[in-house]
């Protein structure tokens, strides 16, 4: 039988980020990355959803785009990120929002080990 831990409940606060104004930025620790999330906007493969926790303890949900997903490829859970909406660019399929990614790494990336020959 499970035993209830001591302490008080804390409400989970979440904010879905809408990139609706150039210059808008958010920052926080990357706490999770979900791939293949089906939404009404996603194609067959689904979207990538990033969750950051800001200094207030609020979970920030950011839906990935092709540009953002490429830029987030080299960050890791635990890194502190600043995401900034800088505008739109023309693409063959219409327009795409450009989100700049800045990172303070939780740990320095380790150089790849070279095989000993």
Whether the model clears a pTM of 0.85, i.e. scores above it, the answer is no
> Nearest-5° angle of CA 64, CA 70, CA 75?
90
Return the pLDDT at 117: 46
Cα 58 to Cα 13, 78, 84: the distances in Å are 5, 15, 18
pLDDT beneath 70, residues of the chain: 40-44, 109-117
Return the pLDDT at 116: 53
As a CATH number, domain 14-104 is 2.40.50.360
All structural domains of the chain with their residue ranges: 14-104
> Which residues are within 8 A (CB) of 96 and not within 5 positions of it... i.e. 6 or more apart?
65, 66, 67, 88, 89
Q: How many residues does the chain have?
A: 117
Return the pLDDT at 76: 95
First to last CA, the chain: 56
Tell me the per-residue pLDDT of 37-61, one tens digit each, with 9 for 90 and over: 877 666 667 789 999 999 999 999 9
């Amino acid at each position: 039988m499970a035993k209830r831990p001591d302490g008080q409940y804390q409400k989970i606060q979440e904010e879905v980020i809408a990139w609706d104004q150039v210059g808008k930025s958010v920052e926080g620790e990357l706490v999770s990355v979900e791939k293949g999330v089906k939404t009404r906007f996603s194609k067959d493969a689904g979207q990538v959803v990033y969750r950051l926790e800001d200094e207030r303890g609020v979970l920030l949900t950011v839906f990935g785009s092709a540009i953002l997903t490429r830029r987030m490829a080299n960050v890791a859970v635990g890194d502190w990120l600043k995401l900034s909406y800088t505008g739109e660019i023309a693409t063959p399929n219409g327009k795409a929002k450009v989100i700049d990614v800045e990172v303070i790494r939780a740990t320095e990336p380790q150089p790849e080990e070279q095989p000993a020959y």
